Structure 1
Amino acid sequence: MRTLSGVQSSGKLHIGNYYGAIRQFVQLQDVSEAYYFIANLHALTTVRDAKLALELTREAALAYLALGVDPKKAVLFRQSDVREVLELNWILGTVVPHSHLERAHSYKDKVARGISPDFGLFAYPVLMAADILLYGTDTVPVGKDQIQHVEFARDWAVKFNTEYVKGYDPADPEGKERGHTPGILKLPSALVQESTQTVPGIDGRKMSKSYGNTIDLFGEEKDIKKRIMSIKTDSTPVEAPKPVPGTERSADASIVSEVPLYDLLKLMLPESEFAEVDASWSVSYTQL
């Protein structure tokens, strides 16, 4: 089984990158043929300074190694070093419906936030599909919010194979039946593991560099402390019980956690320590 995934080098790696992706990379390198890349081409949608782009790419590579990705077990590479991905990006783009790109979550999110997206952001899913399809990937480890990208890659691979491969049957993509021809592009599947987390940022939205709500993995202690101290908490009076996580739901779809401090503690603390936090959570501050 060949797995492939990557992390964008558009800023300092944060705990969301680790719990949402890199932790799974380390686990999968022992049980699959693993390919992991630093998505420095994707990063160009936000990083325009050439020197900074190089620095962030280098830092991302060091972070992969520091967090346990082993070059003896996995192929670790820079996205831009494989120029064929840009060729496939263009070829795929000729069969991608405009309406699909308008449905992309990242594009819709930027529009909803009043950001005017450029072509790089609009066509972002096509390059992501090229990343997946170029290497004959079987599975892509993703969080639930990233499944759409793998589905796009499958749909566009079927469309490409149907148009360019004589004898290709979408119902028999591997060409096992007599008279059928296997597709050039393999159809990937999303691998959503239970251990893959959608990590809340300090404001309750998904932790993301684009939201500015991250906690850096390798930041200075004083900077990390400042970020933690700014985590959104409830506005109830000190004598009132704190809200129980999961009992309220924001009307804002971008909010993944109403109580980010609680969810971050649940994610990072050993079970025995978190049990103490959980037991005292709904108690008022005056009772502590």
Structure 2
Amino acid sequence: MKKQRVLTGVTTTGIPHLGNYVGAIRPAIRAAAQDNVESYLFLANYHGIIKCHEPEQIHQSTQAVAATWLACGLDTERTTFYRQSDIPEILELNWILTCITGKGLMNRAHAYKAAVDKNLAENQDPDFEIEMGLYSYPILMTADIIMFNAHTVPVGRDQIQHVEMARDIAQRFNHRFGKNIFTLPEVQIDENVELLVGLDGRKMSKSYGNTIELFLTPKQRQKAVNKIVTNLKEPNVPKFKGESAIFEIYQAFATPDEYAEFEKQLNEGLAWGEAKKLLAAKIGEELDDKTDAYHDLIANPKRIEDILQAGAAKARVQARELLVEVKDAVGIRTLA
């Protein structure tokens, strides 16, 4: 059976939280363990510098994101795990693709259009403070994807356009130079992806300030869980799903039977405070050992670096081979 090559990139601009774990990290690690999947996972640090202009934040986030995936059980024997900046062939391919990509395609990119609309709404020049990184990053994303001829790219619905653009650019290259060098990637949308709710009941997001950090001590975790918004119902008064995010967060970490019992207790009047203790303990059952592994990795950055370098060496074997084909197709080759 031919393996399905799946590629995922993680931007290095923040520290992963509980929502990232439930919605992206845990399902990606489980998917990578399937026998019919060939998984590529990379730290998108060149994408990170598009929006983040704090060098130390990029550096620290790169270490934290790498440590997070490793601590959560990423199998680097089964997954090609690398840092984007360690694959110079990607940037060479990025330039070649830039030379054949229509400006009109880039003008339609959602992020660029949103920035222009914001400027117009504020009576600014349409391109005020818009840098070329933002404008052309769909081309770099295309290079990331087709460098390894990924078959599928798991994305949220807001990222579908980027994969569609990658298909357009790859197809344009293949047609212009008469060679089917690039696989046309397909979007992979998982309708069952869990969007974890945050402390206030909205989607857990750093922009809302409603996240729970992923790696906490039991005491820190309990303190964070205690901030989940509840109503004023007293103990022994029935409580129901929809009244607090406690229900949804517990469900994300429990088996169906465990969740049914938890919901039953709340329906029968379990106090919110007691429910929060049960929730913190349930999260800890899954994350305490990962927390220890994470802090061990953070304390030993050379271990992380060695893993990333091994992944880059593995990835570059394929990247070099493909880039030779690409350069030959466009006429960049030796004279004899």
The two structures have a TM-score, normalised by structure 2, of 0.62
* Alignment match, 1:198: 195
CA distance in 2, matches of 1:35, 1:15: 23
Q: Which residue does the alignment assign to 1:62? A: 67
Equivalent position amino acid for 2:203 in 1? K
| Residues 88 and 211 of structure 1: CA distance in aligned 2, closer, same or farther (over 3 Å) | farther
| Equivalent runs, 1:130-169 vs 2, <5 Å | 130-162=143-175, 164-166=176-178
Cα 1:165–1:213, aligned 2, differ >3 Å: closer, same or farther? farther
Q: Which residue of 2 aligns with 1:238?
A: 233
Q: Does residue 100 of the first structure (1) align with residue 108 of the second (2)?
A: yes
Counterpart check, 1:2 vs 2:31: no
1:275 to partner: Cα distance: 0.7
The separation in 2 between residues aligned to 1:2 and 1:47, in whole angstroms, is 30
Amino acid at match of 1:141: P
Letter in 2 for 1:271: P
Distance change >3 Å, CA 273–CA 117, structure 1 → 2: farther
Greater RCO, CA 8 A, separation 6+: 2
Aligned to 2:287: none
Residue deviations 1:22-43 (CA, integer Å, cap 9, x gap): 2233223332221111122222
Matched ranges for 1:21-170 at <5 A: 21-30=24-33, 31=35, 32-93=37-98, 94-95=101-102, 97-101=105-109, 103-104=110-111, 107=114, 111=118, 118-119=130-131, 120-162=133-175, 164-166=176-178
Which structure 1 residue ranges, 4+ long, deviate > 6 Å from structure 2? Answer: 282-286
Question: 1:107 deviation in Å?
Answer: 4.7
Question: Is the CA contact (8 Å cut-off) linking 2:8 and 2:154 kept in structure 1?
Answer: yes
State the identity %.
38
- What amino acid is the match of 1:262? F
Compared with structure 1, are the counterparts of its residues 16 and 259 closer, same or farther at alpha carbon in structure 2 (3 Å cutoff)?
A: same
Secondary structure of the residue aligned to 1:136 is coil
| Contact preservation (8 Å) 1:107, 1:117 | no
- Structure 2 residues not aligned, in runs of 5+: 123-127, 276-336
User: For residues 153 and 12 of structure 1, do their structure 2 counterparts lie closer, same or farther at Cα, with a shift above 3 Å needed?
Assistant: same
Of stretches 6-15 and 201-210 in structure 1, the one that deviates more from structure 2 is 201-210
The residue number in structure 1 matching 2:21 is: 18
Please tell me whether residue 268 in structure 1 is matched to residue 253 in structure 2: yes
**Of 220, 224, 229, which residue of structure 1 is paired with 2:226?**
229
CA deviation map 1:51-97 (0-9, x unaligned):
33223212222222111111211111001111232333344443352
The letter of the residue matching 2:147 is: L
**Helix, strand or coil: the match of 1:3?**
strand
Name the residue aligned to 2:216: 219
What is the CA distance between 1:100 and its match in structure 2? 2.2
- More helix by proportion, 1 or 2? 2
1:218 Cα shift? 1.3
Give the Cα–Cα distance (whole angstroms) in 1 for the partners of residues 137 and 230 of structure 2: 34
Tell me, which stretches of 5 or more residues in structure 1 are unaligned?
167-180, 246-257
Matches of 2:129 and 2:227, distance apart in 1: 29
Partner residue, 1:185? 182
Pair member with larger Rg: 2
Change (3 A) 1:144 1:260: farther
How has the CA–CA distance of structure 1 residues 153 and 230 changed in structure 2, closer, same or farther, with 3 Å as cutoff?
A: farther
